[in-house]
A and B are shown apart, each in its own frame.
Chain A
Amino acid sequence: MYGLVNKAIEDLVIENFGREKWEAVKKKSGVKVDFFVSNEPYEDNITYQLALAVADETDIHIDKVMNIFGEYWVLKTGKEKYGGLMQAGGNNLKEFIINLPNFHNRILLIYPKLQPPEFKVDCIENNSLHLHYISQREGLQEFVRGLINGLGKMYKTEVTIEMIQSRSTGADHEIFKISW
């Protein structure tokens, strides 16, 4: 993954638990990188090790850590660093999620070494839609759930997220039913 993901984990830990905790997380994860550069690709393992170490150090379940991280990504990293781009993504939650597949596919132009997941949207209704999440990576479903929660908060819209299909039950990708 690109450094911006690891950097966001670093910012999240420092902001909530202080720099000492971050140093402890880094030590526990065994990650030897001193500074993450946003547009540098890093091994996926680094991100997983960091997330697991955060869970261990803060005594929070890994799923919850990923969920918090997803929210943080939208509300802090996204808003502070990619503020304009996030706003340009749509005027409301529905518009943003509908644009998400295109928006995400374009990222390949900026980060050619990135293996971004693919999103697809269907079953669009007035108050709900289905978001398909297709990824080679395992274990990031809760991160996606956190991202959607974060978007709901960004657009001040109450959302409910239901995973109606998952790889863990034999499907080839996840489908989230998002209602607002």
Chain B
Amino acid sequence: MNFSQLILSKEQLNTLFPFFITINKEGIIETIGNSQKKLFGDITKQFFHEVFTLVRPQITSFDFTNLLSCTEQFILLESKQGITLNGQFIYLKTDEIILFIGSPWFSSIEKVLENNLTLNDYALHNPIIDLLQLVKTHEIVTIDLKNTLQNLQEQKKILERLSLIVQETNDGVIMMNNKGEIEWVNAAFEKNSEYILTEVKGKRLDYILEGQETDPNTSQYLKDRILNAEMFDCEILNYTKTGNKVWFRLKGQPIFDHEGKVTQIFALQENISLRKKSESLIAKAETEIRNNLTKATELNVLKDKFIRVISHELRTPLAAIQSSVELIEKKLRKTNQENYPTIERHFTIVYTEIERLAMMMKNLLFLSYEKEIKLNIVKTDIEKYINELIQNSFFQFNLTKRFEVVSKGKKQLVEIDQKLFWHVIANLLSNAIKYSDPDKKIIIQIQFTNKEVLISVKDFGMGIPESEQQYLFNTFYRATNIENIDGNGLGLVIIKNMIDIHNGSINFNSRVNQGTEFTISLPVYYKKNKVQKHH
């Protein structure tokens, strides 16, 4: 090819070098490429040195001859706006002009955009665009690497923490291969088993830890699970290196790779020797308690039988004593009218004591039969029931006047066994009379709530010493301040038992010399199953 024939039109020059500049002999810019115009505006007819500074190579004066001396050098220009251009000068002898071929240099694609340029403004062959893309790619890769590094650091921290936990935990940690051969153990395993890692590496757990008293079923279970790569959880008796027995709970599971193949088996070894020891002690104690309970139940049955027999046996002679004493009294009253008043007092004592004995036997019989009671539950108007009880049982000595019955809330019929409940209320009222002055009122309050009724009996009597209140419902217990008043210490026990049978509860508040208030809480509807459970 003859290059002297290679002539480019201005349009072709513009396509190949859209940032070209021609400078005439006077140093004036004659023509510029389209992209150059887009970047700087129309800078033709201006002195080249007024628009651009020649950064490299440096020349003393900006004349045509000096510019010509730079044609074989790399040219670095800077515009007044601070935009750098790189390229080269060519002298076109025929036209006596210097041609600048090059392009603006930007360090990032964003700078290109800032200067209102797009990829279309560059010649297709211009590698600057590729260079900018390469820079961008490196930026992205650097960000990727930074993120990856950060991820790795976070994972490293997690691993460090996990490793610390594994090392410092009190539980043994065992890593085995898929054949169940030990690959690694932690310090706790070494402490538990008295073996060090090098001694157990490559060996199976059963080979080093199991012994004569190890349960063969558990041993087989463990082997099967490990070899079949299944989860396991068992308690096993092992032996340390020095032959000490130690109980372990072994929990483990296989670790799978991405293809689902077992790579390792991981196991935790918890020393449960102490627990096993406690369990054995507890089991022993439980057996002892169970035996004692059986004995106590047997004794209780015997006691109930004994009480029944004694009570029945005593009842007849007591009745005979009572009728004989009554006969003697009648005779004496007739035959010895003069002296009778002096001995009447003794008869009163005898009657009171007979009555006390009879009551005691009655109570004892109730307690012995309590478990066999068959209830006869009836819907009852409690207020009416209590008023009738007062009228029938306390008509002597004007006692009825001492009671004041108050009812609150929406009245409901309450399901009770009327015979049993008679004892409860009669006993409480009788106690209130016994332990308070004759001129003091006794207030009975009946309060209905949604599903229960509260019945309280309040006296203003001597009260119960605080230190003795906790023993109040104990069999045969009597407070120290009522030793001179008749009673056998069974009344409240029976009351409580009867209320229990009705699925209710009883509480009290008492202050010495101020009085006592007993409150019974009773469900309005009686539930049979609860009683059965109770019994």
Contacts and interface: CB of A to CB of B under 8 A. Distances in A.
A32 B257 CA distance: 10
B386 interface: no
A84 B140 contact: no
A85 B136 contact: yes
Contacts of B118: 88-91, 95
A30 interface: yes
Contacts of B124: 102
B313 interface: no
B108 A106 contact: no
Interface residues of B, number: 25
A153 interface: no
Interface residues of A, number: 30
A84 B109 contact: yes
A44 B132 CA distance: 27
Contact of A37 (B112, B113, B133, B141): B141
Given A88-B112, A106-B133, A110-B137, A37 B119 contact: no
B113 A88 contact: yes
A64 interface: no
Contacts of A82: 136, 140
Interface in A1-43: 3-4, 7, 27, 30, 32, 35-39
A7 B145 CA distance: 13
Instruction: Determine chain B's interface SS by DSSP, over half rule.
Output: helix
Given A30-B259, A39-B137, A81-B140, A89 B119 contact: yes
Contacts of B109: 84-85, 87-88
B83 interface: no
Nearest to B129: A106
A81 B110 CA distance: 12
Interface in A76-127: 81-85, 87-91, 95, 99, 102-103, 106-107, 109-111
Nearest to B152: A35
Nearest to B147: A35
A84 B129 contact: no
Contacts of A110: 130, 133-134, 137
A99 B119 contact: yes
A82 to B, nearest CB: 6
A109 B129 CA distance: 11
Interface in B60-91: none
B148 interface: yes
B130 A37 contact: no
A30 B258 CA distance: 6
Contact of A84 (B110, B141, B145): B110
24 contacts: A27-B258, A30-B258, A35-B148, A36-B144, A84-B108, A84-B109, A84-B113, A85-B109, A85-B132, A87-B113, A88-B117, A89-B119, A91-B118, A99-B119, A102-B119, A102-B124, A103-B119, A106-B130, A109-B130, A109-B134, A110-B133, A110-B134, A110-B137, A111-B137
Interface of B: 108-110, 112-113, 117-120, 124, 129-130, 132-134, 136-137, 140-141, 144-145, 148, 151, 258-259
